[in-house]
Structure 1
Amino acid sequence: MTYCLAVKVNRGLVFASDSRTNAGVDYVATYSKMRRYCWPGERVIVLMTSGSLATSQAVMNAINRDLEDPDAKFSLRHGKQLYEVAQYIGKLSQQEQTLHERAMEKSNSSAESNFIVGGQIEGKAAEIFHIYPQGNFISASEDTPYLQIGETKYGKPILDRIIAKSTTLEDAARCAMVSLDSTIRSNISVGPPIELAMYQNDSLNEPFHHTYTLNSPMYKSMKKQWTDGLHRAFEQLPRFDWEKTKPDEPTDG
């Protein structure tokens, strides 16, 4: 399992992902779920994956193959709209799943993968898309300007409470990190390092990218302050009526 999310705000895009691919009593593996492609001044594309690692890796290999082939019918550098890139990735995913479908069925395994692709093409608006295993896709909406794949439920509440189109890029990034950390705390199948990327609209340059481990000062400080803040907020919640009665006052009955 994994957890990846992308956020679209007025100033740009935020991408965040964990790096755990397997977790058990005696075996934990990590693998980057985020890929960044940049042609300065032309287009910036960020791709994240969840689900079958074999399918995800095969899709990545196919993407790299097409980028290196000058005669390829389509690649990440083709297309005037980002949704065309989403269609392309969806087709590659479908091809790889079909190729291994029978073998995966025999082993009761799934070849399905989900993808989030986002970025900007020169002259077009920045966008993010969630590509389903079936090859179709959706974009973020005005009311819900974020997309999630993988283990989504633990990190969703803070996104619903904090993220809006007007949220600053930096606040969206902090919110994404807390969302990841909340998921890591509640599910062993999601784990660090955390990868974070931030893209500012119309820059068409390499996004800011950083990897945070458990020992990264920023990550450690964020975890502590968030936990302490939750405790303080909880302690300030309204009291029940019976808690407001003074000890020396008789209660009804």
Structure 2
Amino acid sequence: MTYCVGMRIDKGLVFMSDTRTNAGIDNVSTFKKMFAWSTPGERVIVIQTAGNLATTQAVISLLEERMKAPADRNPGILEVPTMFQVAKLVGDTLKEVVAAQSGQGPVADSAFSATIIIGGQIAGSEPRLFLVYPEGNFIEASDETPYFQIGETKYGRPILLRGYEPQMDFTDTVKLLMLSFESTLRANLSVGMPLDLLTYEADSLTLGQERRITSDDTYFQAIAEAWSDSIKASIKALPDYKF
């Protein structure tokens, strides 16, 4: 399975993804699920993928191939003028791959389906965040829906719902995402480390911090232990139930 989050805050965008894929309890592998491209000073684009691994790898490979295609081909994601057009191009590529693999066109419950988060900024517009569905259509993040989750979302969602604030800085946003992933890791073995983290500061038009968080990362361990301790302390501090 997979767990990926793309989050919009006032200061920019933050992305975190796990790297575990599996086809059964005895066939567990690690694959990158976050991909980033940039033309410094002009655009930054980040993609996170969940779903059938062959499908997501084919989508990324096609996108990268078409970035290098001759000028008479359709423009790639580093040439289209808006993030909306980036989302449309990725959605069309996903539909193309699913149709080719399934032989019957894209359907939401297809064994070849995938879901994709796209975020970034192109000069002249604000940072934008999109969620692309298996059918290739997509929605954009808003003030009411400022982040997207794909994959195994249910375990980490309550943390985000309670903790998110748009005015958070990058430090607190990374803490929030780490807690969301830590809760998911504890609850579901199909999501696993290492985790990939990427930050993007609005209007910088250059990639921010890119980091891989491994199972022996001391900061992640400290966050997990402190969170467990704070939950236990909060339970004790709540009003007592009367029997």
Answer whether TM exceeds 0.5 for this pair: yes
Distance, in Å, in 2 between the alignment partners of 1:24 and 1:77 is: 37
2:98–2:105 contact (8 Å) kept in structure 1:
no
Alignment-mate amino acid for residue 77 of structure 1: L
Alignment-mate amino acid for residue 114 of structure 2: S
Q: How does 1:167-246 map to 2 (within 5 A)?
A: 167-242=168-243
Alignment-mate amino acid for residue 33 of structure 1: K
Q: Does 1:47 align with 2:47?
A: yes
Distance, in Å, in 1 between the alignment partners of 2:163 and 2:206 is: 27
SS in 1 for 2:81: coil
CA drift at 1:104:
11
Partner of 1:121: 122
CA drift at 1:169:
2.1
Which range is displaced more, 226-235 or 12-21? Answer: 226-235
Partner of 2:31: 31
- Distance verdict in 2 for CA 1:88–1:104, change over 3 Å: closer
2:6–2:117 contact (8 Å) kept in structure 1:
yes
Partner of 1:98: 99
2:199–2:207 contact (8 Å) kept in structure 1:
no
CA drift at 1:69:
1.1
CA drift at 1:109:
6.5
Unaligned runs of 5+ in 1: 243-253
SS in 1 for 2:198: strand
2:33–2:49 contact (8 Å) kept in structure 1:
yes
Structure having the higher Rg:
1
CA drift at 1:144:
2.7
- Distance verdict in 2 for CA 1:183–1:44, change over 3 Å: same
Distance, in Å, in 1 between the alignment partners of 2:25 and 2:48 is: 27
Partner of 1:89: 90
Partner of 2:64: 64
1:23–1:189 contact (8 Å) kept in structure 2:
no
CA drift at 1:23:
6.1
Distance, in Å, in 2 between the alignment partners of 1:222 and 1:150 is: 23
2:38–2:206 contact (8 Å) kept in structure 1:
yes
1:122–1:204 contact (8 Å) kept in structure 2:
yes
1:194–1:211 contact (8 Å) kept in structure 2:
yes
What is the CA deviation profile of residues 202-233 of structure 1, one whole-angstrom value per residue up to 9, with x for unaligned ones? Answer: 11112211000110111111111111111111
SS in 2 for 1:204: coil
Distance, in Å, in 2 between the alignment partners of 1:70 and 1:236 is: 65
1:46–1:119 contact (8 Å) kept in structure 2:
yes
Distance, in Å, in 2 between the alignment partners of 1:8 and 1:189 is: 26
What is the CA deviation profile of residues 50-109 of structure 1, one whole-angstrom value per residue up to 9, with x for unaligned ones? Answer: 00111101011101111111323120112221011000000000001001114999xx96
Runs of 4+ more than 3 Å apart: 102-105
Q: TM-score, normalised by structure 2?
A: 0.94
Q: How does 1:119-158 map to 2 (within 5 A)?
A: 119-158=120-159
What is the CA deviation profile of residues 137-185 of structure 1, one whole-angstrom value per residue up to 9, with x for unaligned ones? Answer: 1111212311111111000001111112112222112111111111111
Distance, in Å, in 2 between the alignment partners of 1:23 and 1:57 is: 16
Distance, in Å, in 2 between the alignment partners of 1:109 and 1:63 is: 22
The percent identity for this pair of structures is 38
Distance, in Å, in 2 between the alignment partners of 1:197 and 1:184 is: 19
Alignment-mate amino acid for residue 140 of structure 1: A
Q: Give the number of aligned pairs.
A: 240
What is the CA deviation profile of residues 8-40 of structure 1, one whole-angstrom value per residue up to 9, with x for unaligned ones? Answer: 010010000000011643321110100010110
Partner of 1:251: none
1:145–1:163 contact (8 Å) kept in structure 2:
no
Distance, in Å, in 2 between the alignment partners of 1:20 and 1:227 is: 24
